[in-house]
Structures are given as C-alpha cells and as structure tokens.
Amino acid sequence: MKTLKVGTRKSPLAMKQAKIVIDLLKKVNPYQTFEIISLSTKGDRNQQACLTQIGGKGVFVKEVEHQLQQGNIDFAVHSLKDMPAHLPEELVLAATPQRANPLDCIIWREPAIQMKTQKLVIGTSSLRRKKQLQRLFPVLEVMPLRGKIETRLEKMVSQRLSGTVLACAGLERMDYFSQLPAYQILSPLECVPAVGQGILGVECRRSDVLLCEYLAEINEPQTAIAAQAERLFLQKMDGDCEKPVGAFAEKVDHLWHFYAFLAFNPTAEGHVVHLKGSDVLSLAQQAYQLLG
C-alpha cells in the first residue's frame, strides 16, 4: 500500500484542513499512510494585488491542480469556495466532507465599536462581502485586506481598522473564536456566504477509480447536495471575482432553503433572494432566473 501524497496550500488553515481530511480517511482505513505536500499558489505569493488582477477565482487552486495533473500528488484538499465553477476535464470532485459553519463573521477590533456613530472602516478584499456590508452599515468605508487569518487580524490592529470579515469555518477550525476581542456572526440574509463556504473539496484524477472510491467514503450526502446546488448557481452566473456573487443552501427539517446574492458588476447594487422548497437544484435554477 503506497503512501498517498496530499496537495494543499501552505497556509496554517490549509494544512489544518488537509489533516482533517486525512483523519477522516484514516477512520475508513487505519493502515493507509499519507504525506502532505504543501504548495505555494499565485494567490498566496501576491497578497497585495486584487484577485481580479492576478487571475480571479482559481488563483488558490490552479497550481495545486497542475501538480495533480502532472501526477506529483495523488489528491488535493481545497476550500471549496476557492474552486472555479468548472473543473479541468481530467479532474473530479471526489468528496465533500461534513460542512463546517458556512457563515461570515465580522471581527471587531474592540467591543461595541460597531455601535459608535463615526464611520466604520472594515478590511476585506471580497466584493461579495463589501456589497452586502454596505447594505448593513450606511456609513462604511472598505479597505482592501487579504492574507491568512493571522495576517488579517494583525493588520486590523496595526492599521486601526474597525474590523475585518472572515469565514466562521476557518475561525472554528483554527480555534480563534476564544481569542477574538469581539465578533458578530452574520446571518445568510445579512451576508449570503460564498459558494461552498465551510466545505472542503477533495479533488483527484478521474482516471484513479479506486482512489475516487476511497475518497468518496468520507463524502457527506447533504453537504454534497448543497455544494452541487450552490455550484450550479455559480455555473449559471458564470461567477468570478469580478462579479459579486454568493449562494448558500441548507436543509431545515425537511425543507431546503436557498439564499443567493448577485451584483452585476463591482459598482452595481446587489440583490438577495431567499427561496424554500423540496428540490434544492430547482431552487438554484429559480434563483438564477430571478437574479440573472
């Protein structure tokens, strides 16, 4: 039994996510061994430029996928929200384990700062977040801010920003919530999450049939359906970093809820829809028809 090489980004969160997947796979086969191959991506190397200037959606994924295509790694672990709407033909999304908290979270530099009357200055480079925050806070200035969790929290303090916005999933996986001065978790109606936020995407070569079957053992069915619906909406919208778009599907009791956000361009006002029904893929189609 050969050691499986797992490709991922070098950030602490990406490494943690790879280990989460490995732990799940070891429960399926305790005898399987793994080696994590940490890779540098264009998005990691250039943290100053806007993502649209350096390649848009996929700048955290393409170089890892290249290693997969070249056979240098056996499978890759991504944050699903970083993955483009369409994968290379020879690659497949083999598994989506149980979703973590999918929501966005504002981290405030100090308690109750959001209650003050002066202009709030929030650090984020996400157009999706910027557009929705502007709907929540009438007097708001958004400052570009990228980088790993630690970098953003440090810059929030050093640049004396009012706050920054991060995904709850990353904060939970890295055990940051207990260290934050103050935070505000945003509901899907306040800020529709990025497509696939909180979901790990396990990608491998389509031709590696046995490996695909092994990875599929850690797939969580409800997470997989939600991911399929959200990515269907992204595909319909031809979503990229230049078009602020978000989608989130969740099943409550026996009913699916589908939230979607779209602004047609960086200057347009965005719109949100919230649909309910039994067929989440139909809800994704309806959301596209309403917003597209």
Provide the annotated active-site residues.
82
Strands 91-95 and 200-205: antiparallel
Secondary structure (DSSP) of 186-223: PPTTTSPPPTTTT-EEEEEETT-HHHHHHHGGG--HHH
DSSP bridge pairs for 273:
260
Distances (CA, A) of 96 to 29, 56, 221, 270: 18, 23, 8, 29
Q: How far is CA 91 from the centre of its chain?
A: 19
Q: Quick one: DSSP state of residue 127?
A: H
Q: Quick one: DSSP state of residue 56?
A: S
| Rounded Cα gap, residues 227 and 90, in angstroms | 20
Closest CA to 104 of 183, 203, 217, 205: 183
Q: Is 183 left (phi over 0), alpha (psi -120 to 50) or beta?
A: beta
| Rounded Cα gap, residues 169 and 13, in angstroms | 10
Q: Quick one: DSSP state of residue 11?
A: S
